[in-house]
């Protein structure tokens, strides 16, 4: 069973590698290599069965204290792996804005939401510099393995900050660069130190790091009074 699972994972990794755009530069603050964005060819990677064990998505969401009535954005939502889970948690009365820069991903997400009869999701097509989220409206913005792919992270962070309520939180899930055993390409990992340095420069303060996932950091940021 393990061999079959590993073979499937290696196959999906090959698909993923083929679907990534060329890295688009380095971050001016940390010198971090910016990773390419996953294209539609990587959609199977987002829905792989192993993801439940490797990333424990429900455990991650449990740690964030999501409650009914909240307004949340899933930035870089892809096909909605986290979006649909969060939509169920914020109902009734809550809403999830599913944002991506690829219309094909959002089309698949809408189809999945319709199939699951989930009606409290709004899709938003953003750009590399603007997620197009409503200003001052969000209790939580979630970036799952996405921030490291931002082509212009500083501009995006400024827009994300504008979209949060004064008490809103920005949460990143990123594969741990500190752990060489995490089987992900180096440019798709981030260390706590890198994330902290890059975000604190744009009006965010690190509130806590939650270490409960097998391979990823959960990094919770708050707005500063900047």
How does pLDDT run across 147-191, given as a tens digit for each residue? 999 999 999 999 999 999 999 999 999 999 999 999 999 999 999
Taking the alpha carbons at both ends of the chain, their separation in whole angstroms is 52
Q: How far apart are CA 27 and CA 16, in angstroms?
A: 23
β-sheet bridge partners, residue 20? 38
- CB-CB neighbours of 114 under 10 Å: 11
> How many domains is the chain partitioned into structurally?
1
Pairing status of strand 204-210 against strand 216-223: antiparallel
List, in sequence order, the alpha helices (H) in 49-178.
51-55, 57-62, 83-90, 103-115, 153-163
Stretch 12-34: mean pLDDT, rounded? 65
CATH number at residue 161: 3.40.50.150
pTM over 0.75: yes
Inside any domain, residue 79: yes
β-sheet bridge partners, residue 216? 175
Stretch 90-94: mean pLDDT, rounded? 98
Inside any domain, residue 11: no
Q: In the Cβ-directed half-sphere of 97, how many Cα atoms lie within 13 Å?
A: 24
Q: How far apart are CA 163 and CA 51, in angstroms?
A: 29
Residues 101/125, Cβ–Cβ less than 8 Å: yes
How does pLDDT run across 200-224, given as a tens digit for each residue? 999 999 999 999 999 999 999 999 9
Inside any domain, residue 173: yes
Inside any domain, residue 35: no
Kind and range of the H or E run holding 220: strand 216-223
Question: Using 50, 70 and 90 to split pLDDT, how confident is the model at 7?
Answer: very low
Q: Which domain holds residue 153?
A: 51-223
Inside any domain, residue 1: no
Kind and range of the H or E run holding 141: strand 138-144
Inside any domain, residue 83: yes
Inside any domain, residue 122: yes
β-sheet bridge partners, residue 138? 164
Inside any domain, residue 25: no
């Amino acid at each position: 069973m393990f061999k079959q699972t590993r073979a499937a994972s290696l196959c999906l990794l090959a698909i993923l590698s083929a679907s990534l755009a060329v890295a688009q530069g380095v971050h001016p603050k940390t010198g971090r290599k910016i990773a390419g964005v996953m294209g539609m060819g990587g959609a199977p990677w987002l829905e792989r069965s192993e993801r439940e064990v490797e990333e424990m998505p429900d455990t991650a969401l449990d740690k964030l204290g999501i409650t009914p009535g909240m307004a949340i954005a899933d930035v870089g939502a892809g096909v909605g792996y986290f979006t649909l889970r969060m939509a169920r948690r914020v109902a009734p009365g809550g809403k999830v804005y599913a944002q991506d820069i690829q219309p094909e991903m959002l089309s698949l997400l809408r189809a999945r939401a319709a199939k699951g009869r989930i009606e409290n999701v709004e899709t938003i097509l953003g750009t590399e510099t603007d997620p197009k989220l409503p200003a001052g409206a969000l209790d939580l913005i979630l970036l799952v393995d996405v921030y490291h792919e931002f082509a212009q992270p500083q501009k995006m962070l400024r827009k994300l900050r504008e979209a949060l309520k004064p008490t809103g939180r920005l949460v990143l899930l990123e594969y741990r660069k500190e752990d060489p055993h995490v089987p992900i390409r180096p440019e798709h990992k981030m260390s706590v130190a890198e994330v902290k340095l890059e975000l604190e420069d744009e009006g965010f303060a690190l509130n806590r790091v939650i270490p409960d996932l097998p391979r990823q950091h959960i990094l919770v940021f708050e707005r500063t009074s900047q």
